Amino acid sequence: MMSSSTMHVITSNAAFTEWAISGVTPGWLTAWLLSTGKKRVTHHHLEDESWQSLNGAQLFIGEASELMPIAMAHGRRLGANKHGGLQVIGADTQTLNNPERVFWHYPHQGHTMVLMPVGDVVSQRKAWLTCFAEVGGLLPVHITADAACDAARKITVEPGLYAHVDDVRGHHEALKVTVSYLNHQGFMPEEQLLALLSQHGWQINTAESCTAGSIAARIARVPGASAVLNGGWVTYSNAMKTEHLGVPASMIEQHGVVSEAVVLAMLQNISKPHTMAIAISGIAGPDGGSEAKPIGTVWAAITAPNIPARAFKLHLNGSRASIQAQAAMHVLAEACVRLMV
């Protein structure tokens, strides 16, 4: 197979919609693909057909009906599979789930082509990444919320979270000790948290205000979440915090709803044996901020068996949606850190 330092991702509109639902960003996809040994990843829309002039390994993601013409453009013949659908004759096929489907890979002009039907591209990513991997397997993908990581190789996988990929396998042993890494396997924070909780045999409860359930939703996206995610409360209003979480109205009046005292009180009512608990309250904007508590101020608290309840404060920037996304990510990352200590 011809060696090429560039990897091209060609995505249909249907696949972009799927990414938005599943939380996959071009940044995450880029980081994972760089772990195959490629030096550069480019992204293209399937509909503009510019992919026909590209040179190098290519990953196509789209509906099965969109992928078949690509195989034909590569000179491949189509045939019927045992279920009555179409398959690419002579291509290697592998089965994926969520939903159950197959993807195809084959050489074309000396480069690897992978045709991936729309569906979960995250949980079984090793299957299709391996098709592109250089000799020696996949490289480490270092994940950190520390913006001080290697700036020359830093990839923003989502707001406030970064990745970089080494050129040498095992090089992470020599990484700067001043940078705190979540993991070296390219795990999303929710994937890592679910794995850590499973190792402890614990579940998780969440009480969310400014993130409106997105922390629990991110955990629920990961296959196997039902063994870990116990439940969540979206207590957006002050009244809901008082009625359902037992936060005294006088405490909210005295300290403000975005405060250390309030998130610790929220946390107390959802803390259970053998369970991690997370509580969060913040100001996502565009209004509601003040000089003392500007937009982007977020308080969160975490506790777990043998891990004392402790609150922490975030100062975030960006749009309302970006602040909400960053808050959820930072809390998930901090939960991982607490479990790794």
Residue-range domain boundaries for the chain: 6-129, 139-185, 189-340
Write down the CATH superfamily of domain 189-340: CinA-like (3.90.950.20)
What pLDDT score was predicted for residue 21?
87
Please give the DSSP secondary-structure letter assigned to residue 291: S
| CA dist., res. 282 & res. 259, Å (int) | 8
According to CATH, what is the number of the domain 6-129?
Answer: 3.40.980.10
What pLDDT score was predicted for residue 146?
87
Average pLDDT, the chain: 93
38, 7 in Cβ contact below 8 A? yes
What pLDDT score was predicted for residue 234?
98
Tokens matching residue 309: 């309840």
Rama region for 107: left / alpha / beta (φ>0; ψ in -120 to 50; rest): beta
Tokens matching residue 325: 């996304």
Q: Is 197 exposed, middle or buried (0-12, 13-18, 19+ CB in 10 A)?
A: buried
Alpha helices in the chain (DSSP H): 13-22, 26-34, 64-73, 125-129, 189-200, 214-220, 238-245, 249-255, 260-270, 320-340
What pLDDT score was predicted for residue 135?
73
| CA dist., res. 209 & res. 212, Å (int) | 5
Torsion angles phi and psi, residue 60, rounded to 5: -105, 130
How many other CB atoms are found less than 10 A from the CB of residue 198?
14
What pLDDT score was predicted for residue 83?
77
Rama region for 10: left / alpha / beta (φ>0; ψ in -120 to 50; rest): beta
Residues of the chain with pLDDT under 50: 173
